[in-house]
Structure 1
Amino acid sequence: MRTKTLLATALFGALLSVQAYASDSYQHIRNATAKVSYAGQTFLIDPMLAKKGAYEGFPNTLNSQLRNPLTELPMPMNEAWQGVTAVVVTHTHLDHWDEAAQKYLPKDLPIIVQNQDDAKIIREQGFNDVRVLNETLKIGDVSLHKTGGAHGTKEMYAVAPLGQLLGDAMGVVLRAKDRKTLYIMGDTLWTADVNKALIKYKPDVLVMNTGSARVNGFNEGIIMGKEDVAHAHQAMPKAKIIAVHMDAVNHGAVSRQAMRAFVQKSGLKDWVAVPEDGESVKF
């Protein structure tokens, strides 16, 4: 009888573990904006919440005549922060922390940022609980770990006005006991810092900003693109990849349609998700 009881307990525990994994998800909202449900917490990532066409296109970039965002939110704005535990702002560029987010997000929501400069900006916007992710920070049972990168090439950073505008942008790794490790790479090219994060954390899920956004006068993008998805699969062949940051701002050079075609042609469709606005990916 005791053996049967122990077996039933083990099976019940295993079932709970499976259910826990099933409850974790990445809901793509628009651009790099997402709601991540993870280990009992819900994080709003890089909120850009304005209506379609609210802002002028980014000057001196590809298709700057277009107004941003290029698409509407897939939900009423207030649904974006319903049930949210904390907000993660990887950097304060308009397409990751816009005027609508600054105006409408509840001012008592915890805001997690990359450095003291961004913290100062957001505190001055009226937010009461701004936390700097220096290396590691804990929210409930979730550990958040800061990762580095580069929001452009060394040639771009050598041009003083552009380098200053590009600034810093962090990535974030989410870890919790009995959960898959999630790495949100952020606005970066593939750098040594990305390699270090992959080696250190061995993530099971990669969220990649792959719109290959372009500034005038340079052939390279300021974030990743299609080929980086293939690179990621080669580096982490068992990881689930979620490709986002496309079809929402003027300077993106890679569309979701083009990314899906690349994924199909490269034989990566079983590993790579390219979600529509509002779509959730479970992991």
Structure 2
Amino acid sequence: MNIQQIRSATLVINYAGKKFLIDPFLAEKGAYPPFPNAARQDQNNPLDSLTVPINEIINGIDAVIVTHLHLDHWDDAAKEALPKDIKLFVQNEEDAEEVRSSNFQNVGVLQEDTIFEGIQLIKTKGEHGRGEILNLMGVVSGVVFKHQDEKTVYVAGDTVWYDGVQEAINVHKPEVIVVNAGANQFLEGGSIVMDKEDVYEVYQAAPEATIISVHMESANHWGLSKEDLKSFAAEKGFSSKLFVPEDGESYTF
């Protein structure tokens, strides 16, 4: 198994002989305006250029998983670049209808037990923030990968730490956990993905797992830097279990 950080929440996961693209955010640097009501209103999104060419990212992809349809997980550049007949999994029928409206022809809805080419894909729940902002952020999901020849991987998606994440860890016992941990936030309402304390909760819930922190410093509303998270992990004593990749970096397990 190999997990490559592309940018933001975008990953390429080679798992049990199949290549998955997660949450493609593929536009050129600065292609979109900044997210409103947030920091860095002078910076367009994405904040950085891709370090891996788009054709290399999508070459040989067997399936795409889109955890939800926010711009930084499913953008126009991805819609243009991906073959319209590629297998594409989404979280619910509402998202499937929207993706099909962009002429994608092979869209499936992840279930609690989806089997793709012998790989078990299990949809998990998430909460995209806390309190009133949840109503604005909408429904989100994550996914667990399972195969007899691979470690179990939990891609948590855009969620804060809450009992649903604890439940996913308890039930599936993942050996690798990918968290979106940029503490992204608007001027009111708090973090809408994990912050450093949330990552520490993940570590405490699964102290033997490897944690990979992504979705950092990639859009204008980020709130936690990679260096600050690494420093915090050192203070709390879990640096050896935490990877904070640069764009393009990959890990083999």
1:137 aligns with 114
For residues 44 and 113 of structure 2, the distance between their equivalents in structure 1, rounded to whole angstroms, comes to 37
The residue type equivalent to 1:237 in the other structure is: P
1:242 aligns with 212
1:116 aligns with 93
2:202 aligns with 232
The residue type equivalent to 1:207 in the other structure is: V
Q: Secondary structure at the match of 1:128?
A: coil
Q: Secondary structure at the match of 1:186?
A: coil
Cα shift at 1:154 = 2.1
Matched, 1:65 2:35: no
The residue type equivalent to 1:209 in the other structure is: N
Once the two structures are aligned, what percentage of the paired residues are identical? 45
The residue type equivalent to 2:156 in the other structure is: M
The residue type equivalent to 1:233 in the other structure is: Y
2:233 aligns with 263
* 1:124-159 C-alpha deviation (Å, 9 max, x unpaired): 0011100001322111121000100110112223xx
1:280 aligns with 250
Task: Give the structure-2-normalised TM-score.
Answer: 0.97
Root-mean-square deviation (CA, aligned residues, Å) is 1.0
Matched, 1:77 2:50: no
| Unmatched tracts of structure 1, length 5 or more | 1-23, 158-162
1:48 aligns with 25
For residues 1-283 of structure 1, the aligned pairs below 5 Å read: 24-157=1-134, 163-164=135-136, 166-218=137-189, 220-283=190-253
Aligned residue pairs total 253
Q: Secondary structure at the match of 2:47?
A: coil
Q: Secondary structure at the match of 2:97?
A: helix
* Larger helix share, 1 or 2: 1
Cα shift at 1:260 = 1.6
Larger radius of gyration: 1
Cα shift at 1:93 = 0.2
1:4 aligns with none
For residues 217 and 230 of structure 1, the distance between their equivalents in structure 2, rounded to whole angstroms, comes to 23
For residues 203 and 151 of structure 2, the distance between their equivalents in structure 1, rounded to whole angstroms, comes to 17
Task: Give the structure-1-normalised TM-score.
Answer: 0.87
For residues 198 and 34 of structure 2, the distance between their equivalents in structure 1, rounded to whole angstroms, comes to 26
* 1:10-38 C-alpha deviation (Å, 9 max, x unpaired): xxxxxxxxxxxxxx011000000010011
Cα shift at 1:266 = 2.1
| Unmatched tracts of structure 2, length 5 or more | none
The residue type equivalent to 2:15 in the other structure is: Y
For residues 212 and 62 of structure 1, the distance between their equivalents in structure 2, rounded to whole angstroms, comes to 12
Judge conservation of contact 2:161–2:201 (CA < 8 Å) in 1.
no
The residue type equivalent to 1:240 in the other structure is: T
1:3 aligns with none
Q: Secondary structure at the match of 1:154?
A: coil
For residues 142 and 200 of structure 1, the distance between their equivalents in structure 2, rounded to whole angstroms, comes to 18
